[in-house]
A and B are shown apart, each in its own frame.
Chain A
Amino acid sequence: MFAQHLPVLPIILPLMAAPLCILLGRSHLAWLLATLVSALSFVISVDVLLTTLEQGVLSYAIGGWQPPWGIEIRIDTASAMILSAVTGISTLVLVYAKESIAKEVDPSQHTLFYTAHLLCLTGLSGILSTGDAFNLFVFLEISSLATYTLVSLGSDKRCLTAAFRYLVMGTIGATFILIGVGMLYMKTGTLNMIDLADRIAEFNGNRTLKTGLAFILVGVSIKLALFPLHMWLPPAYTHAPSAVSAFLASTATKVAVYVMVRFIFTIYGAEFVFHTMSMDILLLALAIVAIFKCSFMATVQSNVKTVLAYSSVAQIGYMILGISLVSSVGLMAGLLHIFNHALMKGALFMAVGAVLLRTGSVDIKAFQGLGKQMPLTMAAFTIAGLSIIGVPLTAGFVSKWYLVTAALEQQQWVIAMLVLLGSLLAIIYIGRILEAAYFKEPSELTAGKDIKEAPMLMLVPMWVLVIANIYFGIDTSLTLSAADTAAQLLTQSMTEIEAAQ
C-alpha cells in the first residue's frame, strides 16, 4: 500500500519526528528517535534510487492536484543519488553525535540539537525532491534556519558571529533566489519546474529571464560558497560543533550544487545558459580560482577544522568545474564528486571531532604524536585524506579521473593540468597534518594527558564512511551508473549542441 507513497516519505518522516523529539523531552529518547527516522529515510531513499534507475523519473502530486496547479514531488536519478548520500550521512552523524556533543554542547540543549538536525534533514530532502520552484525556496529556508541554530550551538563564542554572518549572507542569497523565481513567474505564469522549462524555451533571450537567471545563480552561489561569496563558510564550519561541521560539510553545500544543476540544466536548458549567456567561462574561471586560492589558504591555517573548511570550498570548485565543462561526461564527473566528497569530508570532520573530544583542541600542534596514541582515528583520517588528494583505490581518485577525462575530451589540456595541480596543493595541506601526527613527538598541548582512543560510538560511523570511500573507489558500478543516467537525463537538450560542436 505504501509503495506509491515512497517519494514523499523522506520529507515528512523527519518533519514529524522533529516536533516529537520536543514532546519526548529527554535527549536519549530524542537521539534514538532521530537515528531511527534518519535510518528509515536512508532505506527509503536507496529504494527510491533503485526504482529511478529502472523507471527513470518518479512523480508524486501532493494533495492530489496535478502538477502545474498543485505541488509535485519529482525525483530523478540525480536527486535520488544525493538524497541517499544525505540521509546516509545524517544517520552516521547522528550515531556519531551522541558522544561528540556531550562535551561540546551543554546538556540542556541536546534535545534542541536533535530537533534542529531533523529539521535540517527535512529541508535538505525537501530541496532534493521538490518539483516546484517556490517550494524549493521554502525548504531552502527551513534547512538554512536549522543550520543557523546548529552552528550557534558551539561552545566557542566566535560561533555566534559566524552564525550571524552566515544568517545575513544566507538570507541575502535566499532573497536573490526569491527575486529570480519572481521574475520567472512573471514571464511564464507557472512555478512547476518542468512547466517552466517548456515555457522558457519559447522566449529566446528575454531580458527579464536573463536577469532572473543571474539573480538565481548569484543566490545559489552564496548558498554553495562559490569563490567570491564563500567568506561565511570557514568561520561557520570551524566554530560549529564537530558533529554539525561533519553533517554540513558533506551535505548542505552539495545540495546547493544540485540546485544550481537543476536550474541550469532542467529549467533554463544548458545551451541558453552556457551559450547565449556564456556562463561557462565565468563559472570555469571562478572554479579554478576557488581551487587554487582556497587550497593555498588551507595550507597556511593552524586550526585543522579551518583547513578542512577551506578544502571544502576548493572541492566545490572541482564540482563547479565539472558542471561548467558543458558536456554530459563533465556533469557526470561533477555529480560523482558530489557523492564522493560527501563521504571523504564526513570522515575527515568526524576524525577531527574525535581528536577534539580527546585532546580538547583542534590546533595542528594537538595532532602531534597522535599516530601512536589514537591509531584508529588517525588511520581513518589518513585514508580519507588520501581520498581527498585522489590517490588510486579511493573514491576521490574516481571523480578526479572522470574530471580529467571530461576535460581532455574537449581538448582542454590546461584545465586537465590545473585539476592535477590542485591535487598537489591537497597533498601539502593533508601532508602537513599527517606529518604532525606520525613523525612528530607529542607537543606541550598533549604532553600531560594520557590520550585514549575515541569511543566506539564515534569510531564505527567514521570507519563506515572510510570503508564506503574505499568500496566506491574500487567497485564504481553503482555510483557510475547512477551518475551516468542522471547526466544523460539532465542533458537531453544538450545533444544538439554536441552535434553542433
Chain B
Amino acid sequence: MIEIISSVFLIVGAFFSLTGAVGIFKFPDFFTRVHAASVTDSISTILIIFGLILRTDFDLVAVKLLFILIFMLLTSPTASHALAKSARHGGLLTLAETRSDKKVGDD
C-alpha cells in the first residue's frame, strides 16, 4: 500500500520537474522562466522526497531526507528570488515593459 503511494508521489514529482524543464525553454521572457523553474523546483523536491521517505523504514535515512528537504526548501526559493532581484537590478525588462516601449515607439 505504502509502495503505491510513494510511487504516485514519485511519478507526480517527476512530472512537475519535467514541466519546469519545458517551461524554462517555452516561456517568453526571463522573469516567467525564473518563476517556472523555481515553483516546479520546490514542488518536485517536496513530492520526490516524500516519495523516498515512504520507502525508508523511518530511521536515520528518513531524518537525512527531511534535512535535505528543509535545506532545499530554504535555499532554492531564496536563490531564485535573489537571481530575479539581481536581474531586475541589472536592468532586465519584463515582456510587458518591452511591449509598452514598442507601443510608445509605434504611436
Q: Do the two chains touch directly in the complex (Cβ atoms below 8 Å apart)?
A: no
Q: Could you tell me which A residues sit within 8 Å of B by CB distance?
A: none
Binding site for A on B (CB under 8 A): none
